[in-house]
Structures are given as structure tokens and as C-alpha cells.
Amino acid sequence: MRSSGKFKLNSKVSNSTFNKFVVTYDAVSRDVKCHCLLFESRGILCRHSLRVLSFDKRFDDLVFWSHNICEFASKSEELTGILHRAFDKVMVEMEEYQERSKGKSLLTHEEATLSNVNDL
């Protein structure tokens, strides 16, 4: 089953849609609710919620790393230039990867295992 959804974490509360289920995520309280109600009915996190939480974990990790890199690079114009060139190269590589991977789900139902929950 393929999932499609856009994440928006610019605001405190975001909604994402996966296979017609809307997931609401509050970034402040880290509360996640899905309209499939699997957690409320059985106490099991659904793949829709896991996907949002997985995205949030990766996003936080990237912010931490990029903050440290940007802080270091801002010490001089030369270092800033090196980082800009690296960002350009990485962006091209990520866009190429995304184009090759179109239509593939980041977290399928089969991949939503106990290890995914433990990672979160």
C-alpha cells in the first residue's frame, strides 16, 4: 500500500493525509492522533502515526546536525562558501534520488514493525 502525504512542521500542529486517514501532530506536546483510531481502539500505533513520528525524529536530528555545521561554517566567508557548495551538491543528489524513488513509500505497512516503534 502506498502512502502519500506532505509534512508541514513549520506550525505547532500539522495535518498529514495517508490513504485517506488524517494524522494530526502537535509538535509541542508531541501528541499524534490518526483518524483510523487504531491506537484508541487497540492501543497500537498505526503506520500513519509512525510515519509522522519517524519524520519528526529525522527532522530533529537534521536540525541538530545542521545547526552545528552552520555555526562552524559561519566563522569565515571561506567556510561559508565551502558549506554552500556542499549544500548545492547534496541538494542535487537528493533531488536525483527523489526522482528515481517516485511512488515509493517511506514506511510501508510491512516496515511498521516493533523495531520502528523502538527507534522512535
- Where helices occur in the chain by DSSP H, the ranges are 38-42, 47-73, 77-100, 114-119
Closest CA to 36 of 58, 57, 20, 16: 20
Residue 24's DSSP bridge partners are 15, 33
CA angle 117, 118, 120 (to 5 degrees): 70
Residues 53/31, Cβ–Cβ less than 8 Å? no
Q: Is the pTM of this model over 0.85?
A: no
pLDDT in tens, the chain (120 residues): 334 444 444 446 677 776 678 888 887 888 888 989 888 888 888 888 888 888 888 988 999 999 999 999 999 999 999 999 999 999 999 999 999 988 665 544 444 444 444 444
